[in-house]
Structure 1
């Protein structure tokens, strides 16, 4: 297949952002004298948007909506001011993106992070690489809903079978399959390789450069 575009997840795929995310949420928890969580635990909380992360991090298994809303608002404020302090591109990502750009592939990001924050992180850590950067604008359109990804490639005049979707979680593999795109998982992210295998990833990369083998 002659692939013409790639859609990447952001957190856990292109950048390691778990420390900034965890530090921000722990700041919110500490203010309320709630237990905090370590970085490894936060890797299980991320992937479905910040609201879902807030719910998972709160000590009450069924927190009331008012508290979720308050913590979400505070988390967004804290994280927005600290989202690029410890966040960095994974080893080999910048080199891969340079090569992909040289091949005239259309590179894009689709994240379940708030769209404003997605663009802020992408612009700070990975500037000038991407045709379009999409994040969460409404809960109804978050991954694994493929609607935004399909609209993106439709605007490019491409078919799903001409696109590779790359991510680190079961949510990303589900999104790729829901969109009928090639589902490629990465083993260096926030979830383990077995999760990607169980979800039916078409390929699993151990190093970024291995994506070139698929092309």
Structure 2
């Protein structure tokens, strides 16, 4: 999925409460080289601020970005920052918890992410 996005001209970044070093280790372990930037904050509920910083630094409109997350707080942060969020079912929080948060999209496979990105960010 990440390779397809890169081939199609999309850039991917990671915005996380995990440490940059842990994220880099995981990327190296899985030989993922398509991530253009990693933004990290130890503040568990500070993702909306990181998202706003990312948008400002890259001069992006909220409509030009879609966030892929696996936690309830990802949905809350995206709504606060005004960007669309794709929630993935194979992540941290249970689908039953997430449905009441009304993410823009719920997906069960990486292929569904591609479909949404290609439809939403033409």
Does the TM-score normalized on the shorter chain lie above 0.5? Answer: yes
C-alpha distance 132-162 of structure 1, shift in aligned 2 (>3 A):
same
Partner of 1:112: 17
Which of the residues 32, 36, 39 maps onto 1:127?
A: 32
Q: Which runs of 5+ in 1 are unaligned?
A: 1-95
Match of 1:56 in 2: none
For residues 181-213 of structure 1, the C-alpha deviation after alignment (integer angstroms, 9 at most, x for no partner) is: 101101111221122211110110011100122
Contact 1:153 1:160 in 2 (8 A): yes
Runs of 4+ in 1 over 3 A off after TM superposition: 142-145
- Gaps of at least 5 residues in structure 2 are none
Tell which structure's C-alpha radius of gyration is larger.
Answer: 1
Question: Using the alignment, how far apart are the partners of 1:199 and 1:124 within structure 2?
Answer: 33
Which protein, 1 or 2, shows the higher relative CO under an 8 Å CA cutoff with sep ≥ 6?
Answer: 1
TM-score (norm 1): 0.51
Q: Report the Cα distance in structure 2 between the residues aligned to 1:126 and 1:154, rounded to whole angstroms.
A: 29
Taking structure 2 as the reference length, the TM-score comes to 0.85
Alignment partner of 1:150 out of 52, 66, 69: 52
